[in-house]
Structure 1
Amino acid sequence: MSTFAVFGMTADVALAEARKITKTTRPSGKAGAPLQLTLAEWNEAVEQRAAAIMASEKVKQLSHLFDAPQYAQQFIELARKSGQCRDLRIRAKCELTDSKGKPVINRKTKLPRIGWTEYHHATSSAA
């Protein structure tokens, strides 16, 4: 049984990540004496970092785990309605395979490796 999740990037997630990683100081030119940023300067730096994150190719897991892909598809539809987003994709957690279709084996445990792979909706036309 697979587990499904939505991966991608939204403006809200990019802004939250930018707030975490943007520093409140900048170098002053003197060793060991950084300058403290004002709130306006920090907010501007956060906005620039969020824009850079949205422009990059980095994606994050946006949703909780779902039992079926249709629930993940509903999450994608809601995310698109709520604001700016990019690269929204459904991924399934399953055994990883190599280019020949053989499972990738973990060297330590000797068991197949489990990871996230792109989920492609298979449509079957029964006649």
Structure 2
Amino acid sequence: MSTFAVFGMTRDFAMFEARKKTPTHRFEKDKGGQPRRVELTQDEWEAAVIARAESIMEGARVVQLCRPFDAPQFAKDFVALARRRGECRDMDIRARVPDKSAPPNKRTGKPAMTWKPLAEIGLA
């Protein structure tokens, strides 16, 4: 049986990613032209985090937002909760199915697996 998961982007996940990836410093050139590390203030860093989160929300990247579910109706409930909780985009339920275009695993002989949207496999 397949497993199902929700892919997309939420404001919470974008803020989490932005906090992880935004540096707490910047480099400025001193009078001799050499780069000098300057620590950001808390307000400057928070502004940089918000700007990076906005950039993530405007992008096209999607991520798996939850652990896999056993049935698509549970994934639909998760989508409804996420939409009520805050800003989100590109919410999509995908099923983990065998990838017929990829060769089987050489060591185990099992088929390669991939995430495909429900509409592509006829479950939507």
TM range (shorter): 0.7 to 0.9
Aligned length: 118
TM-score (norm 2): 0.87
- Residue of structure 2 equivalent to 1:119: 118
TM-score (norm 1): 0.85
* 1:22 and 2:22 correspond: yes
What is the identity, as a one-letter code, of the residue corresponding to 2:111?
Answer: P
Moved over 6 A (4+): none
In structure 1, list runs of 5 or more residues that go unmatched.
Answer: 99-103
User: Between the two proteins, what is the percent identity of the paired residues?
Assistant: 44
2:68 counterpart SS class? coil
* 1:96 and 2:99 correspond: yes
**Whose strand proportion is higher, 1 or 2?**
2
Aligned-residue Cα RMSD (Å) equals: 1.7
Summarize deviations over 1:14-71 as a string: whole Å, max 9, x none: 0010000000010111446310000000000000000000000011111111000000
* 1:85 and 2:88 correspond: yes
Cα distance change on mapping 1:113 and 1:29 into 2, 3 Å: same
In structure 2, list runs of 5 or more residues that go unmatched.
Answer: none
**Whose helix proportion is higher, 1 or 2?**
2
For the 8 Å contact 2:11–2:87, the answer to whether it is kept is yes
| 1:28-43 correspondence runs (5 A) | 28-30=28-30, 31=34, 33-43=36-46
- Post-superposition offset of 1:107: 6.2
